[in-house]
Amino acid sequence: MTPTLEIVRTPRPTEAAAERLARAIARVDAQRGACRLAIPGGSALAVLPHVLKDLPQGTWSRVQLTWVDERCVPASEEGSNRGSFLRLGLPPPGAALPLWTDDDADPAVAVARYGREFLRAFAGGLDVALLGLGEDGHVASLFPGHAALQAGGAAVFVADSPKPPPRRMSLTLPVLRATPLAVMMAAGAGKRAALRRVIKREEGLPTTALAYLVIATDIDSEGESDE
């Protein structure tokens, strides 16, 4: 299947991304009675409160939540993506599967534990993912040119992230590639060069392999091509 890229240019990318994400979650929930969702940290996390406003009542309580990536730090630390989610103060989802927990110490053990639980609780797949975009074109903790792009299984340990902190866990590219829909929020002029590379489907970028990517952005199309 040819990868599909859809771009929604709007002065309100957070709300636009939330609308698309909520629509997808509600559709899957209506079909299956639950939705398997992966979320990031960072600025894209601002989408979630708007998602909950857009969802039909009771839907969030059936969401099976995990993270596209995580820093290998306790949830109490500012850098923790799971901690950032908890600090939003949103209602708890139906279930949550962390990549890294406060009890984890050995990354290899954490990767194996996550793989088992992802297979058991998520049947080894996702229905939809929310993504942010790094200024170098990375998503999750999959950096262009990094060896982690070649990893199989559900999760990979990244010992030398180009962006601090260096120790991270990430969903693998095969998991993201198999996800039917990814919604990305890319806001601010600092993401312009990276967005241009994503739109051109530059070889080696993790986004190029995604099955269906919707990008909500406030960056204009000057100097870019959607073809």
Confidence label for 222 from pLDDT (cuts 50, 70 and 90)? low
Does 37 map to a domain?
yes
Confidence label for 1 from pLDDT (cuts 50, 70 and 90)? low
Does 30 map to a domain?
yes
Does 222 map to a domain?
no
Does 226 map to a domain?
no
Q: What is the tens place of the pLDDT at every residue in 167-200? A: 999 999 999 999 999 999 999 999 999 999 999 9
CATH of the domain at 17: 3.40.50.1360
Domain count, the chain: 1
Q: pTM for the whole thing?
A: 0.95
Does 23 map to a domain?
yes
Distance CA 162, CA 190 (A): 18
Q: Looking at this protein, which amino acid is placed at residue 29?
A: D
Distance CA 61, CA 92 (A): 7
For residue 58, give its domain range.
4-217
Does 41 map to a domain?
yes
Q: Which residue has the tokens 């990305």?
A: 184
Token reading at 138: 């990375």
Burial 45-62 (b: 16+ CB within 10 A, else e): bbbbebbbebbeeebbeb
